[in-house]
Amino acid sequence: MMLHYGLPIMKERAEWLGGELEIGEPEKGGTQIKLSFIAHEDQINIQSEIQIKRVGNGQ
């Protein structure tokens, strides 16, 4: 039997950053994972932010 630790580790890291990890099932199927946390202004990398938005919107 194989155990998977990926999502619990992601949840733990999100909480460590002061954030939240949500896992859901959209009506169209599949799995939706939402990671939310507040980044300090001096830590924001604009290119990373754009890439995350593209992935997050399924584009």
- Locate the domains of the chain by residue range: 11-56
Question: Which residue has better confidence, 21 or 58?
Answer: 21
pLDDT digits (tens, 9 = 90+) for 23-46: 888 888 888 888 887 777 766 665
Global model pTM greater than 0.75: no
What is the share, in percent, of the chain residues with pLDDT greater than 90?
A: 0
pLDDT number for residue 59: 46
Residue 56 has what pLDDT? Answer: 53
Identify the pLDDT of residue 28: 86
The two beta strands, 32-36 and 20-24, are antiparallel
